[in-house]
A and B are shown apart, each in its own frame.
Chain A
């Protein structure tokens, strides 16, 4: 049992250990090998890091829920772009312009509604057709991106509202709005997953769907809610980001799904479902962002970043596999 607890600790703490290692490594590398003349671990740059993590981070939190549930959602990047377009474009509509700043919350609602609806559609298709979530959301990824281009062709969609920009750049104790939204999402979804019935059922369904059905859990509707949640969070991510930037490019959000999945997996969530944690994903998101900044800090070329992250991802999963390998001979009944 002792051994069990230790293993658990290593597994759950691994990502934070890795973050700590990065902090020390880049600090030391920067200072003593004179690769950089500034400190790596200063507060401002860490706060900025949190803000930069927010767009993918918010989506990764939703992805964690969906993956614990035993599914996956590849359409989040397209949903993100589409929600951004709906938000900014709606503010150009005559009746919205007539409302002045009061149109801001309404535009946000439109965006959030769009995201939730797209997620809901994914969920209902997965539920009713029984087609694998990977395939359904792969199709949705192409389809929703198609909608993005149908909306405004290759042109960016923009709307500049300084009140909105001010709001997006407002800060509390140095934390800007996107970072606050990110941390709030982490907190709320963490509570949902650890403390509520919905969270409990998500783990149960992801681990053993048949047993969950036998326990009287409504598996289909449950999954639909999770898809709606990730759609909502993709839209929330767009709201947090585009409120500040005011312009959506139709290619925005591409590969977001893969970065989100990378962060989730680094954070210890199993691809097959049933295990994972929101806090782990927070760690995964921070680790990736830290790595980008760190490599930049020591003067590595930006092109090397993806290579390094790719290698680390595989190394982490290999380690995880070693730690989790069950006895080679398991009693099969």
Chain B
């Protein structure tokens, strides 16, 4: 592995989007027969980098080499032709047709007059499936397969070509342990064949089990490569999270007021069970955990989007039942959702109308909406949140991520909520706006709001929260105060290592 020429090498890849430098000069190399982990937090640039490799995005600068031959990939087909294959986290299979057709989609073997050569198709496919030791055959309809088996189909697809590099993007997210070992065997096989493998995952134990080297991205920049055998979780985490001035730990805890919201034994089916916590006026309560730990689902339940199966919710000491967002809003609970474009904003509408959307019914003069009242609300929150938009008429879809998020926050602040829940406050937002939003959240707490922040980014949680609730598999594992929390204890709590339920 040492002095071979790399199977895949990236040099100085730069990719920018309006307002965000998504990739800032990324370089690294994958040797043939190497499993190379690519790590980084959400938003660090991993998926953008993969899209560049897959030919979906064109980088502005930088070069890609395959077997030291410079290659330009203008589209997914070219990537495939150059031997770069992807196993996606999100499956991209046609469910109504057979496994074999999916695997050879676009290049079905043919006989005369364009007829499909089914015999060849099925025998070729079965040969590949045999290697994967799967329980289904070439003729199975993909829609009848489990998610894990569908993943195997994706993998089989990658094996049909003479791949030089195979990229696995969070492949084990939906696999059982048994299925994982099969996957790891497949990876070992590929490795033995001299294929370069990029393995993207957040799961440390897998990284240590199968990878040879680890490259880390942070904020779109390459932070270095480590030898897996010579490093530990701590070092990797440090590289991923890094230290920047605006993400220091909270120092002075606020002096919180009375309890605004208390939750007792709240459960919602399999999503989360028996959650207990409270948030006071004037404090930020952070929720930290892995994706799927049930944090967002708790927020959605509090906002009336999901129906709890048991448990009680108290607002200012009074028990309440919340069955819809209308209820939640009326009682002073607001939710800035996880995905602002899908759940938060009406992208085709202007800034003003987005901010006033929940209360426009109260801003009428006679039968008509009062322009003046709306504009004054917009002006007020534009100034307060420092929203940078050319005018209230600007379509929200044209603003940067940070300003869009401020519009959503402004929308809910203008409703004067008692409890403001913010799910992933800075996802997909550039670093500068990130710290502005962090400061804003702190400021809101200071003004007496009860704020709940849900985040997958540890520095963010540590930076903004007065107290932190750690969740794992639908359970509240532990609650920390800002003074006592350490990164290690937090990581342990959200990995389920420390099982003391709070």
Contact = CB atoms under 8 A, between A and B. Distances in A.
A1 interface: yes
Contact of B57 (A218, A274, A329): A329
Given A196-B367, A208-B346, A331 B17 contact: yes
B345 A208 contact: yes
Interface string A181-222: 000000000010001110011011001101111111110000
B137 interface: no
A149 B319 CA distance: 57
B57 A200 contact: no
B69 to A, nearest CB: 25
B398 A4 contact: yes
Contacts of B353: 200, 204
Nearest to B415: A216
A207 B369 CA distance: 20
Contact of B343 (A201, A210, A333): A210
A218 B361 CA distance: 12
B109 interface: no
A211 B368 contact: no
A275 interface: yes
B428 A333 contact: yes
Interface stretch (B6-14, B191-199, B334-342): B334-342
Nearest to B325: A216
B348 interface: yes
Contacts of B372: none
A329 B324 CA distance: 36
B343 A204 contact: no
B344 A333 contact: no
Contact of A200 (B337, B342, B360, B411): B360
Given A1-B390, A196-B369, A197-B369, A213 B325 contact: yes
B98 to A, nearest CB: 29
Interface residues of A, number: 26
A197 to B, nearest CB: 5
B335 A214 contact: yes
Contacts of A207: 346-349
Interface in B389-403: 390, 394-395, 398, 401
A196 B368 contact: yes
B427 A333 contact: yes
Nearest to A275: B348
Interface in B41-77: 43, 57-58
Interface in B172-195: none
A215 B358 contact: yes
Contacts of B342: 208, 210-211
- Which of A203, A216, A218 has most B Cβ within 10 Å? A216
Interface in A251-308: 274-275
B357 A204 contact: yes
A329 B58 contact: yes
A214 B334 CA distance: 9
Contacts of B330: 216
B5 to A, nearest CB: 31
B275 interface: no
5 contacts: A203-B349, A211-B346, A213-B305, A329-B57, A333-B43
Q: Which 7 pairs between the two chains have the least Cβ-Cβ distance?
A: A333-B428, A331-B17, A195-B368, A215-B358, A216-B329, A215-B357, A207-B348
